[in-house]
Structure 1
Amino acid sequence: MTRHPMFGIFLALFGALAISPDTLLMRWSEMSGAQMVMWRGLLMGGAMWLTSITLRRRHLKRDLRALASGAGLVLVACHFSNMTLFAVGIAAAPVSVVLFSVSTVPVFAALLSRLLLRENTHWSTWLAIAAVLSGIGLAVFGPAPASVGGNSIYGALAGLGVALSLSTTFVTIRRNPHLPILLAVGSGAGLAGLSALLWTGGAAVTGGQIWAIALAGGVVLPISFMSLSFASRYTSASNVSLLMLLETILGPIWVWWGTGEAPSRAMLAGGAIVIGSLALYLWHAGHRQSVLRRSQSAAPEHL
């Protein structure tokens, strides 16, 4: 079925908004990194597999063969590392440092798209990336009313690893649209959760606020990652990764609402830059695609 050219962009926007309260729920859980990996991985993996079996049970054998291919295993590895690094980074470092590092996804995605897909990245995407990153830098590194202790270098490295994993995921799906996204994401997440369970030995399974991590792993993550991954089939990887930057701004707002910690002026200013840049980018992308459709529809008349 033919989709509207903006379908992929709006699907990615929905996914980015859905994942925005994730870090708040992680903080509310009061769990260690290994605990969060275990709960989030097992819950998300189970939800993805259940959804895939329900929706595509007639194609399960074909999907499993595709999952065992080289590209399928790349997706599994990406979501294994993404699930592990993000939770461990959030547990060990300031959230702002991890989120800022994750926000480099569009840079990785644009470079990978250019190298692997030979896609031309429009100048407006590069301009939007520069504007959004500057806004995020102001938001997360400006003066804050309170700070969270931790190892910033460790958090930055973990966030960069997540960014590379996510961008590789989007580019791989763009290059191989036949891949079983739900099975790949679920397998990677589930393996990460199982590994964390074996690592902890199950001793700390019931520690912390289970309801918060269950909501994150069983609802927020499946919905958001399904939306973001499917969006990669209908729009470029750089577009998906650019919209994911909304989490970096909306995350502190959720924390403000959930914990009473008000964002600083720098956060508000950075958020304004990010939201404004994304709004302009979306308008410009829609305008370009509208012009392209009109030119393509008019072309046969001149033959």
Structure 2
Amino acid sequence: MSSEKRKAILQIIIAAILLSTGGIILKFIDMPSMAIAGSRAVFSAAVVWLYLRRPRFTFSKAQISGAICYSSMVILFIVANKLTTAANAIILQFTAPIWVALLGAFILKERPRWYDIIAIIFTGVGMLLFFLDDMGGGSVAGNIVSVISGIALAGVTISLRFQKDGSPVETTLLGHLITIAIGIPFLFGASFNLQNIIGIFLLGTFQLGLAYIFYSLAIRHLTAMETILIMVLEPILNPIWVFLYNGERPGFMSLIGGIIVVGTIVWRGVISSRNYQIEENKSVKHQI
């Protein structure tokens, strides 16, 4: 294994760990969701802008729609964490690849593969267990918001496919700027005590800003399969940190549903990556 490869694996592990701290830091902050989203975006935008130095905004329909979806995703994820458990929020958002497959069939006219159909069925079963588990509590609304957050993340992915030379970093930066604009009215009257300020700073700079920089650096040297397998650390570690912090735990059916969802998404990612590699090899041989 080359030194670049080892470095990339370390970078994406760091990215996954940083992203996984979102749940615990959000539990640490006592502020309205929109105020958190707007103030966090200030720090995230600053970190990403410093990294890019000279961002290239095309303001194409694809970049703008991707930025709107990204802003919606980060806002809804914060709202979801305030309404349901950290485990439910992150795992239901983790269903994004399934929504990409479904939306891709309508927007990109891409026919779902056999493994997409199987993954959609099993993910649906897993999601159903989440909602059945929370029917007696107040987490159903949080679960719904989490699912919509996953759909918004799928929207970001699809928008990037429309951008021929689009950069995911510029799209997310524009998304942060939109989030700031949306969140500004909610900052007035919010409690910016020391604990909240520290939490927002950690969310903006480390949990989101630096995490995405490490991710963008790592994926240049990793295969899609390697990226998927390592990034699954995020939905696994996220609820563990929260449990260690305040004892929050998902219900039994939610736990089973989470195992089904995460397992299905990883399985689909591995199969999809293998099929893509086979098709690439066939294409190369055909050209030769």
Kept after mapping to 2: 8 A contact 1:105/1:164 = yes
1:171 maps to which residue?
158
Q: Give the distance between the partners of 2:67 and 2:287, measured in 1 at CA.
A: 44
Label 1:157 to 1:43 Cα distance change in 2 as closer, same or farther (>3 A): same
**What do the CA deviations read for 1:116-142 (whole angstroms, capped 9, x no partner)?**
222233211332343344345546754
Q: What TM-score do the two structures reach when normalised by structure 1? A: 0.70
Which of 209, 215, 219 is 2:202 aligned to? Answer: 215
Label 1:157 to 1:169 Cα distance change in 2 as closer, same or farther (>3 A): same
Kept after mapping to 1: 8 A contact 2:92/2:127 = no
Question: How many pairs are equivalent?
Answer: 275
User: Unaligned regions of 5+ residues in structure 1, if any?
Assistant: 1-10
For 1:218-229, what aligned pairs fall within 5 Å after superposition? 218-225=205-212, 227=215
Label 1:134 to 1:257 Cα distance change in 2 as closer, same or farther (>3 A): farther
Kept after mapping to 2: 8 A contact 1:109/1:241 = no
Residue 188 (structure 2) pairs with residue 197 (structure 1): no
Helix, strand or coil: the match of 1:213?
A: helix
With 31-40 and 93-102 compared, the bigger mean Cα shift is at 93-102
For 1:192-271, what aligned pairs fall within 5 Å after superposition? 192-201=179-188, 203-206=190-193, 208-225=195-212, 227=215, 247-261=234-248, 265-266=252-253, 268-271=255-258
With 215-224 and 163-172 compared, the bigger mean Cα shift is at 215-224
Kept after mapping to 1: 8 A contact 2:26/2:199 = yes
**What do the CA deviations read for 1:164-207 (whole angstroms, capped 9, x no partner)?**
32111100101214224323312222332343233332652336
Instruction: Kindly provide the amino acid, as one letter, of the partner of residue 238 in structure 2.
Output: G
Q: Give the distance between the partners of 1:75 and 1:114, measured in 2 at CA.
A: 18
2:125 maps to which residue?
134
Kept after mapping to 1: 8 A contact 2:228/2:266 = no
1:4 maps to which residue?
none
1:46 maps to which residue?
46
1:88 maps to which residue?
79
User: Unaligned regions of 5+ residues in structure 2, if any?
Assistant: 1-10
Instruction: Kindly provide the amino acid, as one letter, of the partner of residue 40 in structure 1.
Output: R
Residue 104 (structure 2) pairs with residue 113 (structure 1): yes
2:140 maps to which residue?
152
2:7 maps to which residue?
none
With 276-285 and 103-112 compared, the bigger mean Cα shift is at 276-285
Offset at residue 46 of structure 1 (A): 1.6
Label 1:211 to 1:228 Cα distance change in 2 as closer, same or farther (>3 A): same
Kept after mapping to 1: 8 A contact 2:229/2:266 = no
Kept after mapping to 1: 8 A contact 2:68/2:178 = no
Label 1:141 to 1:193 Cα distance change in 2 as closer, same or farther (>3 A): farther
Kept after mapping to 2: 8 A contact 1:49/1:186 = yes
Helix, strand or coil: the match of 1:119?
A: coil
Instruction: Kindly provide the amino acid, as one letter, of the partner of residue 22 in structure 2.
Output: D
2:24 maps to which residue?
24
Kept after mapping to 1: 8 A contact 2:38/2:182 = yes
Instruction: Kindly provide the amino acid, as one letter, of the partner of residue 62 in structure 2.
Output: A
Label 1:242 to 1:228 Cα distance change in 2 as closer, same or farther (>3 A): farther
**What do the CA deviations read for 1:61-84 (whole angstroms, capped 9, x no partner)?**
xx23x1x22222212222232232
Label 1:193 to 1:115 Cα distance change in 2 as closer, same or farther (>3 A): same
Kept after mapping to 2: 8 A contact 1:249/1:271 = no
Offset at residue 16 of structure 1 (A): 5.6
Label 1:34 to 1:229 Cα distance change in 2 as closer, same or farther (>3 A): farther
Which of 255, 270, 275 is 1:288 aligned to? Answer: 275
Label 1:135 to 1:46 Cα distance change in 2 as closer, same or farther (>3 A): same
Q: What TM-score do the two structures reach when normalised by structure 2? A: 0.73
Instruction: Kindly provide the amino acid, as one letter, of the partner of residue 39 in structure 1.
Output: S
Q: Give the distance between the partners of 1:98 and 1:275, measured in 2 at CA.
A: 13
Instruction: Kindly provide the amino acid, as one letter, of the partner of residue 217 in structure 1.
Output: G
